Structure 1
Amino acid sequence: MESIRSPEVYTMKGGDGPHSYAKNSTLQRHVIEVAKEAMKETIAEKLDVGAFNSSKTIKIADLGCSVGPNTFEAVETIIEAVRSKYGSQGLSSQIPQFQVFFNDHVSNDFNLLFTTLPRDKQYYAAGVPGSFYERLFPEASLHVVHSSSSLHWLSRVPEEVTNKNSPAWNKGRIHYANSGDEVIRAYKAQGERDMEKFLQLRAQEVVNGGLMLLNSTFNPNGTHPSQCVSHLFVDLIGSSLMELARKGRISEEKVDSFNLPIYLMTPQEMEAAVERNGCFSIERIETLASRPRGNGGNESLDHQMAAHIRAGMEDTITQHFGEDIIDELLDLYRKNIREIFIPFLAKSDGAKGESLLVVLKRKY
């Protein structure tokens, strides 16, 4: 019998302090804002109101919601679009109620999420703790599923990359972008397994005719991972850790045993996963311009990205290396952003720094 392994838990930094995700998630917010009009258009064109006639409540799930405020904006966009769809078909008097399920890992700061819910919200809110690589909802219970800036997180680090006896041992690196082909293949295989599981589970939970709006960072077709802007963003964390190892602040063995469970699929890989699953049709797939940008130009981009890393990965990093290195690590990271990332960003083409919006419809 195959053993069941719980997904590894990587949560954003809770609370509302200066280093929290709530205060440092403008990059993810920009992705949602850029996708807003496309989401509205797709719901207007593809949502089959007739399929929901028997439902007095439209149920929406945001998977990987974190703590807000981004999730609230995404949910309000969806509800506004659904209301408009009913209105455009002369059904304004028949608009159902809305229930929204906010999902993230059990260690997510749901207290902050619920204390900051919009006071004028037009939906009933509920929290659903758990990994989206596990079953979360009853059969055929969801009408719209949304996920943004979440699906690049894998359920686990590929086992091979931390095994010294494996050809995929990822020595000296924490990610696959600039590693050998064996490491890349190990991450790709894990990514495909996880997406297969994700689609299989959602196929059970989404009603026939229901929509999934998936917005994620991606690796462009035909582009080596080392040439992808978003990969460099992550890879520079590893470079900064190795600098600390050379300084004797941490051991190189510690770096060797630390890998991030992040994989960016290509559009072709996503299309192939949907085709293998067979339960969804692709209604829309397009790239959206969401390149990293500083609040005040490139001069502030290094600080913004370091804050982003701290909010998203501080707990993961400090659990492995200890808390006393985080400030020094982020200083090195900012330096690497200025010296390596910003010049790379300036000469890269736009397609290498965008997000991918995929809209799937549950087949009847």
Structure 2
Amino acid sequence: MDSKQVVHMNQGEMETSYARNSSFQSAEQNRMKPLMEAAIVDVCSNISTLSCGNMVIADLGCSSGPNAVALVSIAIEATCNHFLQLQQSPPEVSLLLNDLPYNDFNRVVKSLVALRQINEPVVVAGVVPGSFYERLFPSGSVHLFCSSNSLHWLSKAPEDLRINQIPAYDIDENVRRERLPVVAEAYARQFRKDFTLFLKLRAKELVSDGRMVVSLAGRRSDELVSEISHVWGTAAQILGIMASEGMIDKAKFNSLYIPVYGPSLEELREIIQEEGSFTITEMRVHNPASGMDSAHLTPNRIANCMRAAFEPLINQHFGSSGEVMDGFVRTAEKLLSLQGSSQVNQTEKPIVMLAVSVTKASHVNCGAFSTSP
């Protein structure tokens, strides 16, 4: 499955769009604010980093809707506040938003235009379509990278599972549990490969001592891998129920490999340290539901949030008749209601948000290297 074609959120402003069903992502961006502000102060305090009097900030995997400019807005406000305290003029700022080509960039551009009009330091604002597992920017050109709720998406699903016809999520519970270590290891290998490449690419594009703040879905380090600890586990569970009830084809379900992986905090730390281009400034673990209004945590709202994220991928695999996604939402609401009545709440689940702030290591330069995946 080509992630470039199917990994994008629901477009537009309708009831099922990502723009209207992204409260979890918005909450995580708010939790990233202290890390973003600290990174901005660090960049602005480095005289050599801002020697040309300008700053380039890039958001990777911006998606669309109000969340698209949330992180860069935090960065702009922090920059202005920093130089206001110093009684100095802020640097000229370039804001660049990246996502895959099928993203709803029409809405993104409108958001950028509005942001530029109300922020005096913003001189350039633009979009950069493409995968963040490829080169996107000139060497040594970016001061701060940020990314929220995106890096758990892989460049592709593990090919060895597909080649060996091992379903990522089997309807039979006993078979599923037996295969879980094989499936988990395949996804872990793909994530390690992708995230290592991501770090190499961003180190190439960052200025000396440049900063990066990212957040992605994962699991607690002390949690054993289980089917629900996969970021796609609940979606697969819902589709599995639909397959067992004849709502979707079982053979097609068995051939579905969702290109998403949530690492543990220690797994993430190990990959960053082994790759060697960055030093870790801070790492945090967030409960994805913390600080959210309970009105956003109802089975219906959660089901619609899942639909907004997975509908393009599901439609590409099962067909876009509309009946599949309507059935997905109904099944999700029923499953989530049953979980709620069984007192299975969000705090007991192993899925968390991992936030990481890193600095480009001083020994890393802009020398040539291979970017082959």
Match of 1:74? 71
Cα shift at 1:241: 1.8
Name the aligned partner's letter for residue 86 of structure 1: F
The answer on whether the counterparts of 1:9 and 1:105 sit within 8 Å (CA) in structure 2 is no
Match of 1:337? 336
Match of 2:20? 23
The answer on whether the counterparts of 1:140 and 1:208 sit within 8 Å (CA) in structure 2 is yes
Which secondary structure does the structure 1 equivalent of 2:78 belong to?
helix
Q: Structure 1 residue 97 and structure 2 residue 88: aligned?
A: no
Unaligned runs of 5+ in 1: none
Q: Structure 1 residue 316 and structure 2 residue 313: aligned?
A: yes
In 2: Cα distance, 1:53 partner to 1:91 partner: 17
Which secondary structure does the structure 2 equivalent of 1:358 belong to?
strand
Match of 1:253? 251
Cα shift at 1:45: 5.0
Match of 2:270? 272
Cα shift at 1:126: 0.5
Name the aligned partner's letter for residue 135 of structure 2: R
The answer on whether the counterparts of 1:27 and 1:292 sit within 8 Å (CA) in structure 2 is no
Identity of aligned residues (%): 30
Cα shift at 1:43: 3.2
Name the aligned partner's letter for residue 74 of structure 1: L
Cα shift at 1:248: 2.3
Match of 2:107? 112
Name the aligned partner's letter for residue 110 of structure 2: T
In 2: Cα distance, 1:287 partner to 1:86 partner: 30
Name the aligned partner's letter for residue 243 of structure 2: A
Supply the RMSD in Å over aligned alpha carbons. 2.5
* Residues 249-286 of structure 1: CA deviation (Å, up to 9, x unaligned): 32211100011111011111111111122111111111
The answer on whether the counterparts of 1:7 and 1:133 sit within 8 Å (CA) in structure 2 is no
Cα shift at 1:156: 0.4
In 2: Cα distance, 1:346 partner to 1:272 partner: 30
Cα shift at 1:76: 1.2
In 1: Cα distance, 2:209 partner to 2:45 partner: 6
The answer on whether the counterparts of 1:59 and 1:143 sit within 8 Å (CA) in structure 2 is yes
Which secondary structure does the structure 1 equivalent of 2:10 belong to?
coil
Match of 1:135? 135
Name the aligned partner's letter for residue 131 of structure 1: S
Cα shift at 1:41: 3.3
Q: For residues 278 and 342 of structure 1, do their structure 2 counterparts lie closer, same or farther at Cα, with a shift above 3 Å needed?
A: farther
The answer on whether the counterparts of 2:59 and 2:147 sit within 8 Å (CA) in structure 1 is yes
Cα shift at 1:297: 4.6
Q: For residues 227 and 9 of structure 1, do their structure 2 counterparts lie closer, same or farther at Cα, with a shift above 3 Å needed?
A: closer
Match of 2:359? 361
Match of 1:59? 56
Match of 2:371? none
Name the aligned partner's letter for residue 52 of structure 2: S
* Residues 78-136 of structure 1: CA deviation (Å, up to 9, x unaligned): 12222333344x3613x211111110001111011112333424422110000100110
The answer on whether the counterparts of 1:295 and 1:304 sit within 8 Å (CA) in structure 2 is no
In 2: Cα distance, 1:149 partner to 1:264 partner: 11
In 1: Cα distance, 2:284 partner to 2:169 partner: 35
Q: Structure 1 residue 221 and structure 2 residue 221: aligned?
A: yes
In 2: Cα distance, 1:247 partner to 1:220 partner: 33
Task: Give aligned pairs, total.
Answer: 349
In 2: Cα distance, 1:103 partner to 1:347 partner: 31
In the TM superposition, 1:186-335 aligns within 5 A as 186-226=186-226, 231=230, 234-291=232-289, 295-297=293-295, 301-322=298-319, 323=321, 324-335=323-334
The answer on whether the counterparts of 1:60 and 1:144 sit within 8 Å (CA) in structure 2 is yes
In 1: Cα distance, 2:324 partner to 2:4 partner: 27
The answer on whether the counterparts of 1:48 and 1:209 sit within 8 Å (CA) in structure 2 is no
Which secondary structure does the structure 2 equivalent of 1:151 belong to?
coil
Which secondary structure does the structure 1 equivalent of 2:219 belong to?
coil
Match of 1:149? 149
The answer on whether the counterparts of 1:291 and 1:353 sit within 8 Å (CA) in structure 2 is no
Name the aligned partner's letter for residue 327 of structure 1: D
Which secondary structure does the structure 2 equivalent of 1:242 belong to?
helix
Unaligned runs of 5+ in 2: 363-373
In 2: Cα distance, 1:290 partner to 1:242 partner: 24
Q: For residues 296 and 7 of structure 1, do their structure 2 counterparts lie closer, same or farther at Cα, with a shift above 3 Å needed?
A: closer
Match of 2:345? 346
In 2: Cα distance, 1:169 partner to 1:353 partner: 22
Q: For residues 45 and 141 of structure 1, do their structure 2 counterparts lie closer, same or farther at Cα, with a shift above 3 Å needed?
A: closer
